[in-house]
């Protein structure tokens, strides 16, 4: 476990894999009538609550300061509430696998933001890795979803906003990270803030009754909360170990998990070009991982 906690590659695989599980879980939930906002809420509130309990059991506390509160709520809005709402709204229209492909664009957008803002950038091999991954993402994107079911352009556009929001969050969390604060504390504060924001949105726009639909998929709720709690514990550690551009590579892993789980468990079908693109995306991840071990 100690090795995993200090390994950028290990953290990347675990975090991306757990993120990828969110896609099929989200499709099962929305198919059962759970609203996108309610499912986003259960992820943030559930993960935040579980991680808070773990933090308290270890005898730790969250010390609130103006800086931390700002960090919690901006991170909550940009990294969790917005992309989750977009993702769970788009999944019924695009499919779990295709929506997952949108995550693969996050590294490219993160790199652009990183260059513009002067945050740590990858070396040339890292840029090549991201470029290779992007080529694979384009191959997948042109298929427009499941075979024989081209996605509506409006929902494709909504899906494209997911990596933009994620990229902005990747950069923000790095440049405004509260000094001396651990990854678990940041995960707890950010998710509880996200849960509070989403709950206000639910009560205002949908009414408390919309949360009742969660009772239709109790096992999916438990599985989602468990995987999200584990994912976000590793997520902030990966941010500290790998930096924002490397962190954004979890989108490649998540997309692969989304494609396979959607095909095997949800009956989704994709073109050969889609699978070829997924293989090229994987190659991009390995190239970027190699670059991570070199001096930037």
Q: Is residue 28 part of a domain?
A: yes
What is the distance, to the nearest Å, from the Cα of residue 34 to the centroid of all Cα atoms in its chain? 20
Please tell me the least confidently modeled range out of 43-57, 110-124, 259-273.
110-124
Whole-number Å distance between alpha carbons of 206 and 51: 28
For 150-178, what is each residue's pLDDT tens digit?
A: 667 788 788 889 988 988 988 898 888 88
Q: Is residue 205 part of a domain?
A: yes
Answer with the residue of higher pLDDT: 50 or 62: 50
Residue 283 lies in a domain: yes
274, 126 in Cβ contact below 8 A?
no
In the chain, the percentage of residues whose pLDDT exceeds 90 is 24
Q: Give the residue with greater pLDDT, 133 vs 70.
A: 70
Residues 6+ apart with CB under 8 A from 282: 136, 252, 256
pLDDT for the residue 221: 94
Which tens digit of pLDDT belongs to each residue from 210-237? 898 899 999 999 999 999 888 877 877 8
Confidence of residue 20 (pLDDT cuts 50, 70, 90): confident
- The C-alpha angle with vertex 100 and arms to 96 and 105, in degrees rounded to 5, equals 155
224 closest CA partner among 57, 10, 9, 32:
32
Please report whether residue 25 resides in a domain: yes
Pair 51, 191: CB distance under 8 Å: yes
Q: How far apart are CA 151 and CA 16, in angstroms?
A: 25
Residue 1 domain-assigned? no
Instruction: Determine the pLDDT at residue 68.
Output: 92
Q: Is the pLDDT of residue 295 over 60?
A: no
Q: Is residue 104 part of a domain?
A: yes
Spatial separation of the C-alpha atoms in residues 281 and 139, rounded to whole Å: 10
Closest CA to 85 of 174, 201, 220: 201
Confidence check: pLDDT of 89 > 80:
yes
Q: Does residue 197 lie within any of the structural domains?
A: yes
Residue-number span of the structural domain to which 93 is assigned: 8-292
Q: Does position 296 have pLDDT exceeding 50, yes or no?
A: no
- pLDDT computed for residue 181 by the predictor: 81
Which has the higher per-residue pLDDT, 17 or 267? 17
The whole-angstrom separation of Cα 21 and Cα 275 is 18
2 lies in some domain = no
Low-confidence winner among 106-120, 207-221, 246-260 (lowest mean pLDDT): 106-120
Distances (CA, A) of 137 to 99, 165, 256: 12, 18, 11
User: Predicted confidence band at 292 (pLDDT cuts at 50, 70, 90)?
Assistant: low
Least confident window among 32-46, 80-94, 156-170, 272-286: 272-286
Reply yes or no on whether the pLDDT at 30 is more than 60: yes
Domain count, the chain: 1
């Amino acid at each position: 476990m100690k090795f995993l906690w200090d390994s950028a590659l290990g953290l990347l695989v675990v975090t991306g894999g757990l993120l990828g599980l969110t896609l099929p879980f989200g499709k099962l939930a929305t198919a059962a009538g759970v609203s996108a906002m309610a499912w986003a809420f259960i992820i943030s509130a559930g993960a935040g609550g579980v991680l808070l309990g773990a933090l308290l059991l270890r005898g730790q506390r969250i010390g609130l300061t103006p800086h931390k509160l700002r960090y919690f709520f901006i991170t909550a809005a940009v990294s969790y509430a917005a992309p989750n709402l977009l993702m769970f709204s788009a999944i019924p229209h695009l499919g779990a696998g295709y929506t997952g492909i949108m995550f693969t664009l996050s590294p490219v957008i993160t790199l652009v933001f990183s260059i513009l803002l002067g945050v740590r950038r990858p070396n040339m091999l890292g840029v090549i890795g991201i470029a290779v991954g992007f080529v694979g993402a384009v191959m997948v994107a042109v298929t427009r979803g499941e075979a024989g079911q081209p996605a509506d352009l409006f929902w494709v556009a909504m899906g494209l906003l997911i990596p933009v929001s994620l990229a902005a969050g990747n950069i923000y969390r790095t440049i405004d990270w509260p000094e001396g604060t651990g990854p678990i504390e940041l995960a707890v504060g950010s998710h509880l803030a996200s849960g509070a924001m989403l709950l206000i949105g639910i009560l205002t726009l949908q009414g408390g009754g919309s949360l009742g639909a969660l009772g239709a998929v109790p096992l999916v709720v438990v599985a989602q909360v468990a995987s999200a709690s584990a994912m976000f514990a590793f997520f902030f550690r990966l941010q500290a170990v790998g930096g924002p551009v490397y962190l954004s590579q979890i989108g490649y892993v998540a997309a692969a998990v989304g494609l396979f789980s959607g095909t095997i468990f949800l009956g989704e079908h994709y073109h050969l070009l889609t699978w070829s693109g997924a293989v090229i995306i994987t190659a991009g991840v390995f190239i970027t991982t190699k670059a991570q071990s070199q001096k930037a």
